[in-house]
Structure 1
């Protein structure tokens, strides 16, 4: 019989298995060490901080968005207002261009040579005195007694709604005043707020020609800029803009009411602008034509009474004449 081989209890394969098992236990211990509770808590704290930071950024972005939305709405409103203003200016421009076209067609003499204007400035007031024999009164004598020694005339006309109700009458009286002066060296027309009838020729004298006078009467028919029924602004602006020591100027105020705050303040302000010289003469003469506010009833509106009182004192102080019209002498 063959002899059997002895089997050892601890072979190399057994030792390998034991070693691998021991190594696996050590690996498990190492891996479990990474996920200890302290490490997990630290990870949770980091995540909470990150979430809080992201929420803060989100709130900030939402706030910026709300601000931008408000600014966008404001810009849209401003754009709408700008467009409305632009449309209004365009309408006014179209109106002015139409008036300019009318003047260009009917009054070519407006393009006057500067040398001629300079020569006119240098003429003596004796020229006006020579023209005095040609003086013609208006048909109904409604402006009788008003001195006509001025060489330059400015009309300050109330264009409010109450005056528009009797605008044909105002047109008639404007024509009569122009007829009283056969010729002058310069004219201007503005409303009581300082808006010129011919804006393109504002702040400059219009040379007196038959074509210009006809253009004034034609434009007067549809002229209706905004007015607050306070002639003091227009009077002060006219004096400050057009007075010069070599010019004799008269201002004619057309109106029917005074809506200003204080008559005394107006008189004081005009006294400060239209100052007296050493002979007691003012820079310009101020005349006024008062139109009745209402053609019916016995009660005169307070604003109409204030206009009459103010113009009477203003004309008296400034070398002019106040003419109060009534329905009888219309």
Structure 2
């Protein structure tokens, strides 16, 4: 038997070691190849996951935006609902007030009808008393007028009821009565003319007395006949202005009178009487500074349903004013 060679044993060991190393290297190589493929798969999965996450985030943002819009719409709808409820409450309240007002108006209508019937009865009962012709004695002095006046201011109602419907000029009867009053005072120191609203009827003469002479009287009557300005049916402003602007307290010789020509009064008598007490008080001798007279025309008393109550108010007011302020009230029965 041949002895074993040590060199051969060494070669065999090295070869086995080479095989083992090669196999291990192959395994490592396979592992490396496998890991690279797995990394690609992982990266691909990661990318897909990121896309899915981004999509979900986008969807969530869209849902949040929609939720915000829905919440805003809900708030707007709630505000509109509240406004509608508020309007409904206001409308109900308004309807209740209107129903109450309607009830009051109906009750007032009934009261007015009763009052109208009472006024008709009053007009009928007082018609004879008002129909008093302005009687002029031989000297053309209206009964009861203060003869001592030396300054006279005329206040005219120039509203439509005091005018001729065909010409829009003052009624001829009114001009005639004005002429009668002027003729009753042949010698006075001053004269002036105002309409019911307090406007001076002759241009350029506000606040001053006109010298009384035949030319002034003729010119004034011509102006009055064709006076174009329509006044309200309320002579009170004209009376107040005549007293305030024309009366001269320092003129000891002045004995001023106001003559009112009209047919209607639309206000209340009590404030007028109270104001006249302030601006036209009594002097130490008991007389008023200014006497106030009135001539009433029956232009509206003929029509009880249209304006007779304003005619009655004028007559009642001016009789009271004339009585308290040293004057006279004359009611004209016929008006041509």
TM-score (norm 2): 0.54
Number of the residue aligned with 1:189: 193
> Quick one: distance in 2 between partners of 1:208 and 1:142?
18
Distance 1:154 1:138, change over 3 A: farther
Segment of structure 1 superposing worse, 144-153 or 290-299: 290-299
> Quick one: distance in 1 between partners of 2:315 and 2:138?
23
Number of the residue aligned with 2:173: 169
1:230-276 deviations in whole A, cap 9, x for unaligned? 1111111111111123411000000000012x110111111111011
Distance 1:149 1:269, change over 3 A: same
Which of the pair has more CA radius of gyration?
A: 2
1:215 equivalenced with 2:219 (yes/no): yes
Q: How does 1:244-263 map to 2 (within 5 A)?
A: 244-245=248-249, 246-260=253-267, 262-263=268-269
> Quick one: distance in 1 between partners of 2:246 and 2:141?
27
1:305 equivalenced with 2:312 (yes/no): yes
SS in 1 for 2:154: strand
- After superposing on structure 2, the runs of 4+ consecutive aligned residues of structure 1 that deviate more than 3 Å are 137-142, 294-300
Distance 1:316 1:214, change over 3 A: same
1:146 equivalenced with 2:145 (yes/no): yes
How many residue pairs end up in the alignment?
193
RMSD: 2.3
Number of the residue aligned with 2:235: 231
Number of the residue aligned with 1:274: 280
Q: Is the 8 A contact 2:139 2:184 kept in 1?
A: no
> Quick one: distance in 2 between partners of 1:243 and 1:312?
22
Q: How does 1:4-23 map to 2 (within 5 A)?
A: none
Distance 1:201 1:297, change over 3 A: closer
Segment of structure 1 superposing worse, 154-163 or 220-229: 220-229
> Quick one: distance in 1 between partners of 2:262 and 2:333?
13
Distance 1:158 1:139, change over 3 A: farther
Distance 1:154 1:164, change over 3 A: same
Number of the residue aligned with 2:159: 160
Distance 1:235 1:206, change over 3 A: same
1:286 equivalenced with 2:292 (yes/no): yes
Number of the residue aligned with 1:205: 209
> Quick one: distance in 2 between partners of 1:173 and 1:139?
15
Unaligned runs of 5+ in 1: 1-136
